[in-house]
Amino acid sequence: MATINSNSSSISSNPGHSLHKRTLTGNKYTSGRLLVDAGSTRFPGAAVLAVGGARRGGAGYINYLAREKFPTDLVLNAYPDVVPLYGETDGKEISQCPTVLIGPGAPEVHLLPDVPRLVIDGGALTLIKKPASSESLWVLTPHEGEIKKMGFDPSNRERCALTAARELNAIVLLKGFQSIVARPDGIFHIDEIGGTELSTAGTGDVLAGFIASMLASHQPKNYGAAAPIVADALSIFAKAAKTSVAKRAPLVATDLLEEIPLQLAKQ
């Protein structure tokens, strides 16, 4: 897959990873474990949407970090297959999870966990104070307002995404019209599928969960392997939105939870 620099105008790709292929001798743990730290009393629905997206990305074992009762009850009532972690906010249990999603719906987070793969979204983006270490793989999913708060100028979206990816040693998915996937060595993918139908509350929570689960199941070791997975997840997500809104409009975030698995079944 070719990359482009910040002066190029467009690139499209068809990574084609989709769901990780499970083996006959595998189990729920070898299919990938993911911890979701999302939602709050103020934004409880984000927990349901992020975990809902995660359930469709291929991870075999999904934990939900139960910080507050209301969002926890919503998640467990909706998804009986999700396993809660109670009272483990000191980092010990989190550090044992190889892949973590943190930030959708403003959970009360004060420190980014030190894990092999970390997807950072929403309020957790402001916790980034230094680049990812060489032993961690970060995927950041800001929209333009969030990346501006992080100190980057989104007036030139490609340059902004690439600069953030390089300075933070991370994959940056800059959401919006023609969402951009940048890794430290260049722009990897620009989405040409998604449109205005995605401009509604909660869609980003679904996407963050879906990406995190895809990463948890594929278990990439470096950005070269991770970028196609992120781009593929974005493409499937955008196709799901287009297909859904053609059947019923306007799109709402929960429509994506129904349409994503139908898109995956076509692969």
Query: What are the φ/ψ torsions at residue 34 (nearest 5 degrees)?
Result: -130, 135
In whole angstroms, give the CA distance from residue 51 to residue 212.
Answer: 10
User: Would you say residue 190 has pLDDT above 60?
Assistant: yes
pLDDT of residue 56: 97
In whole angstroms, give the CA distance from residue 11 to residue 225.
Answer: 18
pLDDT of residue 21: 86
Taking the CA atoms of the chain, what radius of gyration do you get in angstroms?
Answer: 17
Closest by CA position to 13, among listed 246, 172, 178 = 178
Mean pLDDT of the region 17-32: 87
Share of the chain above pLDDT 90, in %: 84
pLDDT of residue 167: 98
pLDDT of residue 90: 53
User: Would you say residue 13 has pLDDT above 50?
Assistant: no
237 close to 56: Cβ distance less than 8 angstroms: no
User: Would you say residue 30 has pLDDT above 50?
Assistant: yes
pLDDT of residue 104: 98
What's the fold here for domain 33-265?
UDP-N-acetylmuramoyl-L-alanine:D-glutamate ligase (3.40.1190)
pLDDT in tens, 209-222: 999 999 999 999 99
Question: Sign of the C-alpha dihedral, residues 168, 172, 175, 181?
Answer: positive
Global model pTM greater than 0.75:
yes
pLDDT in tens, 57-83: 999 999 999 999 999 999 999 999 999
Q: Where are the domains of the chain?
A: 33-265
